[in-house]
């Protein structure tokens, strides 16, 4: 009997141990968390960052939306539901952060009357549109004009050319009316394009071809175009864009609307990552770009710095995406991807699955010396968004000295220098204040020296 009692006690203790081991998973009441996928970031005001988020499979397929993050508290609120993400082509904030523009209508089933450009407040209210614009557009610094790249047919000697040319079209967002259109494609005209019905033997182009000369002449000047983004400098006459240089490498260029010419700014070498995603600072003096890691190029002196991964000690290296500047041009926000431990497939042991999710929002100072985590977003089974960054220790949320600084070969366009040197009201006020202070100081010194000499001479 005693023997069986010991067996029962041993079974009870074993059962209790198993229950306690499984308790954290079954009885804790904590729902399982999944990372929240983040999209574009927008920084309209000092304490607010807007972003697009997708809770993924936790609460269904049509749950993506437009969200607002309050930096000081870490609170996240949804401001707009987006059920058809593929219909939206989002642009950048206006330079003052008061408006955001986005394209709508990439789906063939979209009614024609809904296709175009829309403008709304950063909180998702006061939607206006559709406005006439192409897919590739940029804000001017007056915060009421948008320019887009579009193809247009033109005439030469009264005859319509067969091939269109690229134009930079300006229009007012309030009235929707076109303001100006500048032909930025400088391809020369070919006679074969002038009249397709004209017999070939009667065209000068055919005569040149028969003589072994090229029929179509190109003036191949790098220019903004296609679907790549571009940004206006504050003067409204210079455009920052990315294109291939003569070596075939992607670099930054500045296009001058006054002379319709381009000048190369950066000189990246072979093997360096292509700046596929970039944004010009609102003051026009620096450009931030990625991936894989955030880099910032000072356009005034050519100094380049890059954040070094891993940002978080003892964690895998990660990539940076969806960057945006603060309106004062002093900070950059970007998403960082959470990299999960690799999973081996039992059926295919030679394959390793690595899961990644861009669910963190970080901010970094303009000089790269201060880096801070502001959001680490997860979603539970009920769809509630949880910001785990509030649980991170202070030592883990703040970092200093993570930037690697280098200096590039550099040449800034003289026309852009002249634009930066244009006096403005603030600069004029500071100039007047400085000279007034210098004049007052000179008068005080003069009277002091006169008083000293007068008293000194009287004593002698």
Give exposure, 364-387, as e/b (b: 16+ Cβ within 10 Å): bbbebebbbbbbbbbbbeeeebbb
Higher pLDDT, 415 or 141: 141
> Which residues in 184-319 belong to E strands, given as ranges?
231-232, 238-244, 250-256, 261-264, 277-280, 286-290, 295-298, 303-307
Residue corresponding to tokens 């509030």? 390
- 22: confidence class by pLDDT, cuts 50, 70, 90: very low
Full-model pTM: 0.75
- Poorest-confidence range of 177-181, 219-223, 241-245? 219-223
Q: Would the CA dihedral through 188, 193, 195, 199 be positive or negative? A: positive
- 128: confidence class by pLDDT, cuts 50, 70, 90: confident
Joined together, the tokens standing for residue 242 give 């990315």
Bridge partners of 304, per DSSP, are 297, 406
pLDDT of residue 175: 86
Pairwise CA distance, residues 106 & 109, whole Å? 9
- 333: confidence class by pLDDT, cuts 50, 70, 90: very high
pLDDT of residue 411: 60
**Contact between 71 and 374 (Cβ < 8 Å):** yes
pLDDT at 337 over 70: yes
pLDDT at 339 over 50: yes
pLDDT of residue 445: 72
Q: Helix, strand, or coil here: 454? A: helix
pLDDT in tens, 143-178: 999 998 888 888 766 777 667 888 899 999 888 888
Helix, strand, coil % over all residues of the chain, rounded to 5: 20, 35, 45
**Contact between 35 and 359 (Cβ < 8 Å):** yes
Start-end of H helices in 187-277: 204-210
Pairwise CA distance, residues 241 & 223, whole Å? 7
Joined together, the tokens standing for residue 113 give 């009357």
Average model confidence (pLDDT) for the chain? Answer: 76
Cβ-based neighbours of 380, under 8 Å, separated by 6 or more: 31, 32, 33, 34, 58, 386
Higher pLDDT, 61 or 251: 251
pLDDT of residue 245: 83
pLDDT at 230 over 90: yes
Joined together, the tokens standing for residue 338 give 């959470």
**How many degrees, rounded to 5, is the angle at CA 336 between CA 333 and CA 339?**
175
- 349: confidence class by pLDDT, cuts 50, 70, 90: low
pLDDT at 226 over 60: yes
**Contact between 379 and 357 (Cβ < 8 Å):** no
- 21: confidence class by pLDDT, cuts 50, 70, 90: very low
Cβ-based neighbours of 37, under 8 Å, separated by 6 or more: 53, 54, 55, 56, 357, 358, 359
Residue 51: name the closest of 83, 77, 74, 73 by CA. 77
Joined together, the tokens standing for residue 409 give 């070969």
Calculate the alpha carbon distances from 184 to 18, 84, 88, 149, 172 in Å: 73, 34, 27, 9, 20
pLDDT of residue 140: 93
């Amino acid at each position: 009997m005693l023997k069986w009692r010991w067996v029962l006690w041993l079974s009870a203790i074993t059962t209790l141990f198993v229950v306690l081991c499984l308790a954290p998973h079954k009885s804790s009441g904590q729902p399982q968390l999944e990372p929240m996928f983040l999209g574009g970031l927008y920084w309209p005001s000092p304490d607010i960052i807007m972003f697009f988020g997708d809770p993924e499979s936790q609460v269904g397929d049509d749950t993506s939306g437009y969200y607002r993050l309050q930096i000081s508290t870490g609170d996240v609120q949804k401001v707009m539901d987006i059920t058809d993400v593929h219909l939206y082509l989002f642009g950048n904030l206006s330079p003052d952060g008061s408006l955001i523009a986005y394209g709508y209508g990439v789906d063939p089933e979209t009614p024609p009357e809904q296709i175009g450009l829309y403008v709304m407040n950063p909180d998702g209210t006061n939607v206006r549109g559709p406005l006439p614009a192409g897919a590739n557009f940029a804000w001017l610094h007056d915060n009421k004009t948008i320019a887009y790249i579009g193809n247009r047919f033109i005439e030469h000697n009264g005859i319509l050319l067969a091939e269109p040319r690229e134009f930079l079209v300006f229009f007012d967002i309030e009235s929707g009316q076109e303001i100006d259109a500048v032909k930025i494609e400088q391809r020369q005209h070919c006679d074969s394009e002038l009249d397709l019905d004209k017999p070939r033997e009667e065209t000068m182009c055919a005569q040149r071809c028969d003589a072994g000369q090229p029929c179509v002449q190109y003036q191949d000047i790098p220019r903004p175009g296609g679907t790549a983004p571009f940004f206006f400098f504050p003067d409204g006459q210079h455009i920052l864009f990315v294109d291939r240089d003569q070596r075939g490498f992607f670099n930054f260029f500045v296009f001058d609307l006054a002379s319709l010419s381009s000048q190369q700014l950066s000189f990246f070498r072979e093997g360096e990552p292509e700046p596929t995603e970039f944004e010009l600072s609102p003051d026009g003096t620096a450009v931030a770009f990625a991936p894989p890691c955030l880099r910032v190029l000072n356009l005034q002196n050519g100094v380049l710095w890059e954040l070094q991964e891993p940002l978080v000690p003892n964690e895998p290296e990660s990539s940076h995406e969806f960057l945006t500047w603060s309106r004062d041009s002093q900070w950059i926000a970007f998403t960082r991807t959470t990299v999960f431990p690799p999973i081996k497939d039992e059926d295919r042991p030679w394959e390793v699955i690595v899961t990644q999710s861009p669910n963190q929002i970080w901010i970094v100072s303009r000089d790269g010396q201060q880096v801070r985590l502001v959001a680490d977003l997860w979603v539970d089974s009920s769809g509630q968004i949880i910001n785990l960054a509030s649980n991170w220790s202070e030592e883990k949320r703040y970092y200093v000295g993570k930037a690697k600084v280098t200096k590039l070969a550099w040449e800034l366009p003289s026309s852009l220098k002249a634009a930066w040197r244009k006096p403005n009201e603030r600069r004029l006020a500071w100039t007047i204040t400085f000279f007034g202070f210098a004049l007052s100081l000179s008068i005080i010194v003069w009277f002091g020296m006169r008083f000293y000499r007068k008293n000194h001479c009287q004593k002698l």
